[in-house]
């Protein structure tokens, strides 16, 4: 008999899913891409996104220390100068996350950062539900027998109805 699987956090599954695509861009693991906001902080993550991590091609005998890589970031045009001033901080944070000095330089490419678009869509919290929306959610949840599940469905219904109202306005 199969054991029921537990729900997993998306953040735990993302590195496995991004693995092949990340490898093509020079990211040995997808950790930098998947945890970018944690590594550099939300302020930088909304303005810049990692594109590629490129190590220099080996020339001659193998050096004593591995060569430093170049991290390429896509940066929103208006914030390129600010991000340029914060390059040492970004490199330090990425290296600290990796546990060794991997990134030696950071290049910037102007463009829209995907994280910034995603953050903008989630910028404002949903408004509180009005009395009519709360009643509709209560009525829908009343059909469910389980108390905890009914509470969760009611909260979800209130939030969804309030968000729909806000999007229409």
Written as six digits, the tokens of 104 are: 């030696």
Consecutive sets of 10 residues in the chain, 169 residues long: mean pLDDT of each? 63 55 50 83 88 77 75 89 93 88 90 56 68 90 84 87 80
pLDDT score, position 4: 61
pLDDT score, position 116: 46
Residue-wise pLDDT for 97-137, tens only, equals: 888 888 889 999 988 766 444 444 444 666 788 999 899 98
The separation between the first and the last C-alpha atoms of the chain, rounded to the nearest angstrom, is 51
pLDDT score, position 25: 46
Q: Are strands 48-54 and 69-75 parallel, antiparallel or unpaired?
A: antiparallel
> Which residue bears the tokens 């953050």?
119
Q: How far is residue 92's CA from residue 71's CA, in Å, rounded to a whole number?
A: 12
């Amino acid at each position: 008999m199969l054991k029921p699987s537990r729900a997993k956090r998306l953040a735990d599954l993302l590195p496995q899913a991004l693995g092949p695509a990340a490898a093509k861009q020079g990211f040995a693991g997808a950790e930098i891409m998947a945890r970018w906001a944690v590594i550099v902080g939300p302020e930088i993550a909304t303005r810049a996104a990692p594109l590629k991590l490129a190590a220099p091609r080996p020339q001659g005998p193998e050096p004593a220390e591995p060569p430093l890589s170049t991290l390429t970031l896509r940066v929103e045009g208006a914030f390129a100068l600010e991000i340029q001033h914060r390059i040492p901080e970004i490199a330090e944070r990425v290296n600290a996350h990796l546990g060794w000095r991997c990134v030696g330089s950071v290049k910037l490419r102007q463009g829209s950062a995907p994280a910034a678009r995603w953050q903008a869509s989630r910028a404002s919290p949903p408004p509180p539900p009005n009395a009519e929306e709360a009643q509709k959610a209560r009525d829908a949840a009343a059909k469910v027998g389980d108390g905890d599940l009914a509470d969760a469905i009611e909260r979800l219904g209130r939030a969804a109805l309030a968000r729909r109202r806000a999007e229409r306005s």
